[in-house]
Amino acid sequence: MGFLKEISVPGKKQAIERPRWLVLRTGWLSLRVDKRVPNVLLLLALTTLAVMVWSVGQGEYPVPPLDVVRTVVGLPTDNADYVFVVNTLRLPRTLVAWGVGMALAIAGTITQGITRNPLASPGIIGVNAGAALAAVSLIVVFPSVPISLLPLAAFSGAFTVAILIYLIAWNGGSAPVRLILVGIGFSLVAGALTELMVTFGNIYDVSQALVWLAGSVYGRSWAQVVSFTPWLVVFGLLSLLLSRELNALQLGDDIAQGLGSRLEWQRGWLLLCSVALAGSAVATAGSIGFVGLMSPHIARQLVGPSHEGLLPVAALTGGLVVVAADLIGRLLFAPIELPCGIVTAVIGAPYFLYLLLRARK
Amino acid sequence: MLSLGMLLGIVFLLMCLAASMALGVADIGPGEVYRALAASDGSTEHLIIRTVRLPRSLTALLVGSAVAVAGAIMQGLTRNPLADPGILGINAGAAFAVVMGVFFFNTASLSLYAGFALVGAAVAAVSVYGLGSLGRGGLTPLNLTIAGAALTALVSSLTTAILILSQRTLEEIRFWLAGSVAGRDMALVMQVLPYLAVGLVLGLALGKQLTTLSLGESVAQGLGQNTLWIKGAAAVSVVLLAGGSVAIAGPIGFVGLIVPHIVRFWAGADYRWILPYAALTGAIVLLLADIAARLVIQPQELPVGIMMPIIGAPFFVYLVKSRVKR
């Protein structure tokens, strides 16, 4: 690939925007990203930081923004309670929101890439339905089981269903259309079984299960941050390394094979990343919808369709969206909290329609 | 051949209807069922049949054919094999309207649910149509599906929001939300029957036009069809059928998606045959599913809306595996 940048397709547009790419190349790694990527990343990171500080300051016990920053960094403030409120209660919650948003966005970008379908979201590979079924069964059927096992159950549910879908859709190869359709079928069955729990369970357990189903970061602590971070780091980085393959897969199976992509292996690895990221996110915070769908589209508008740059930008966008959604959900009906999954859906659906309208012009 | 099949189908449907009235926690022989309907002597068994099983079986029959025909029309109209009232947001709209009704007006009567459900279904259908035609290229199958998916996601998360905010609403509504044909009385069936009947007649009358339309919009226009009118009439029929059936039975998924595909195995691509066969098959499928839902965990029962995906999804997956090559 080393000489590819010199062979540019001749054309006026190319000539005017000559230096469009930034190329990073070491012995074994080569990344080529759009020139806009660093600035966009910086901007997103700063915005996220600002929203996080605001979010941590808000609540029944308000903390001024400057004191939030001082407390987090470890400088003394004039109120000793701040340490507990900020560092123990609110910071981990916001961090979980951020991490979950990033994971969902990366998973969404990958899913849209491998299925070549701009409407695909991690939900399509059955992750949400599987996790929901496992978690709701745990809450409703075994209320005595400690709640700390919930993420584990959700994660194994997500993984089992995703693998089942992949195996059943396999028919001498994993055609994306079959993957989507089998995924829909499985999600419907898991949905029906979840509905069964909701219909016959104890009403108090069902209420709890609904909050979990809607996707919420309420009451998340450092324990969740610690258990979630390795998944995000390992599979996030792996996805970044594989992102170049997504560009080839995007062109269709035949062309990708022609370009020398080991199609099924690449798709399998990418799918694994996507399932691991979405599964751990759903296990941590329930099924927060629309983030995996929205973020890649926003990112594509910001930095174009090449996946090396798209993936990190989408990740930061997703993080920002969930952090903001959590903040909005807490502020809107102040004493009552809306789960952030509902906020993302209410924002996400109109955005979806906006995409439709924009396509018309 | 196909008309002979139709006849056989009707005979089978009648057998299912009889079975649905005879089977249950209290097993009642077919002879007794006939006597209860022809000349009731007021015994407990006859009362069970006339007030519980008859309305229930009729509900299953009506809802099954309504949903299946609605699904078939939508698939023809949108040229999308995955279209059904559930996927295009009509069930979600109706469910949302009912949940709103329970939340704000504190009603718990099934006949009030029916009113809300019809309005909700109509509003949802009109919005999906409107939003779908905003996209590039107007009312294409893809745009319609996208609009439906977006509306479903939005509306069902609002429904969840209400259910989280108000536990009372959740308690009252959750059995209805699962979709069931149990406990419906004759008055309710009669109340919704006109909508379903008009929708069914209108839908069946559109068979020829739908066949043409399913070849593609420009082909249909080239053949001299006024596609706008046909689409409008089909939409009215879908709203009546889907809204009416949600009104009696709650959101019942899968029948509308699956039945048209089964029917195409023998009826081909001609909607003049697909639609009546879908009506027949839909009724049979829902009756059988309801019998199964009554018998699997006696003396408890499952809502038939939950049974359907569990029975139907394996079949759907099989269809996908055998039919979708690429």
Domain coordinates in residue numbering, chain A: 38-121+219-360
Residue A350's closest chain B neighbor by CA?
A: B150
Query: Which has more confidence, A11 or A331?
Result: A331
The pLDDT of residue A172 is 67
Name the residue among A195, A199, A342 with its Cβ closest to that of B157: A342
Asked if A175's CB is within 8 angstroms of B325's CB, the reply is: yes
Distance from CA of B114 to the nearest CA of A (A): 20
Asked if A290's CB is within 8 angstroms of B317's CB, the reply is: no
Give B213-245 as a DSSP string: HTT-HHHHHHTT--HHHHHHHHHHHHHHHHHHH
Disruptive mutation site among A170, A178, A211, A294 for chain B (greatest number of B CBs within 10 Å): A178
**Closest by alpha carbon to A153, among A104, A99, A234, A212?**
A212
Residue B176's closest chain A neighbor by CA?
A: A199
- How far apart CA A136 and CA A201 sit, in angstroms, is 10
Mapped onto helix, strand or coil, the DSSP state of residue A54 is: helix
Decide: residue B89, CB within 10 A, 0-12 exposed, 13-18 middle, 19+ buried.
buried
Give B113-128 as a DSSP string: HHHHHHHHHHHHHHHH
Q: What tokens appear for A187 in the block? A: 């999600």
Residue A24 bridge partners (DSSP): A31
Distance from CA of B162 to the nearest CA of A (A): 10
Asked if B174's CB is within 8 angstroms of A207's CB, the reply is: no
Q: Which residues contact A121 (CB under 8 A, 6 or more apart)?
A: A108, A111, A112, A289, A290, A292, A293
Distance from CA of B323 to the nearest CA of A (A): 9
User: Is the bond leading into B299 cis (omega within 30 degrees of zero)?
Assistant: yes
Asked if A189's CB is within 8 angstroms of B310's CB, the reply is: yes
The CATH superfamily of A38-121+219-360 is ABC transporter involved in vitamin B12 uptake, BtuC (1.10.3470.10)
**Closest by alpha carbon to A84, among A54, A115, A63?**
A63
pLDDT for residue B240 is more than 90 = no
pLDDT for residue B91 is more than 60 = yes
Residue A208's closest chain B neighbor by CA?
A: B164
ipTM entry: 0.70
Asked if A182's CB is within 8 angstroms of B317's CB, the reply is: yes
Disruptive mutation site among A288, A344, A353 for chain B (greatest number of B CBs within 10 Å): A353
Q: Contacts of residue A334 in chain B, CB cutoff 8 Å? A: none
User: Is this model's pTM higher than 0.90 or not?
Assistant: no
Q: Contacts of residue A196 in chain B, CB cutoff 8 Å? A: 178, 302, 306
The pLDDT of residue B325 is 57
- How far apart CA B306 and CA B323 sit, in angstroms, is 26
Element (H, E) at A30: strand A30-34
Residue B252's closest chain A neighbor by CA?
A: A192
Instruction: Determine phi and psi for A120, rounding to 5 degrees.
Output: -75, 145
- How distant, in Å, are the alpha carbons of A119, A143, A197, B81, B100 from that of B170? 31, 19, 13, 34, 11
Name the residue among B135, B164, B178 with its Cβ closest to that of A211: B164
Q: What tokens appear for A28 in the block? A: 């074994």
Binned at pLDDT 50, 70 and 90, residue B323 comes out as low
- How far apart CA B245 and CA B60 sit, in angstroms, is 9
How are beta strands A21-25 and A30-34 bridged, if at all? antiparallel
Length, in residues, of chain A: 361
Q: Contacts of residue A332 in chain B, CB cutoff 8 Å? A: none
**Amino acid type, A145:** V
- How far apart CA B69 and CA B214 sit, in angstroms, is 15
- How far apart CA A119 and CA B318 sit, in angstroms, is 24
Residue A212's closest chain B neighbor by CA?
A: B164
Mapped onto helix, strand or coil, the DSSP state of residue B81 is: coil
Decide: residue A211, CB within 10 A, 0-12 exposed, 13-18 middle, 19+ buried.
buried
Asked if B326's CB is within 8 angstroms of A359's CB, the reply is: no
**Treating both helix axes as pointing N-terminal to C-terminal, what angle do B304-323 and B271-295 enclose, rounded to 10 degrees?**
130
- How far apart CA B196 and CA B217 sit, in angstroms, is 28
DSSP state of A124: G
Rounded to 5°, angle at Cα B133 from B127 and B135: 115
Distance from CA of A138 to the nearest CA of B (A): 19
Asked if A186's CB is within 8 angstroms of B313's CB, the reply is: yes
Name the residue among B131, B160, B309 with its Cβ closest to that of A189: B309
Tens of pLDDT, residue by residue over B134-152, are 766 666 666 676 677 778 7
Mapped onto helix, strand or coil, the DSSP state of residue A319 is: helix
Name the residue among A189, A199, A214 with its Cβ closest to that of B303: A199
Sign of CA dihedral A57, A61, A64, A67: negative
Tens of pLDDT, residue by residue over A256-290, are 777 766 777 877 888 888 888 888 888 888 878 78
The pLDDT of residue B236 is 86
Tell which CATH classification among 3.30.420.40, 3.50.50.60, 1.10.3470.10, 3.40.630.30 matches the domain B2-41+57-323: 1.10.3470.10
Please compute Rg for chain B using Cα positions: 20
Residue A342's closest chain B neighbor by CA?
A: B157
Tens of pLDDT, residue by residue over A93-145, are 889 999 999 999 998 888 888 877 776 777 766 777 888 888 888 888 887 77
Mapped onto helix, strand or coil, the DSSP state of residue A34 is: strand
Instruction: Give the number of A-B residue pairs with CB atoms closer than 8 Å.
Output: 132
Distance from CA of B120 to the nearest CA of A (A): 18
CB-based contact B39:B76 (threshold 8 Å): no
The pLDDT of residue B66 is 92
- How far apart CA B60 and CA B19 sit, in angstroms, is 13
The pLDDT of residue B142 is 62
The residue behind tokens 């300051």 is A57
- How far apart CA A95 and CA A186 sit, in angstroms, is 32
Asked if B150's CB is within 8 angstroms of A349's CB, the reply is: yes
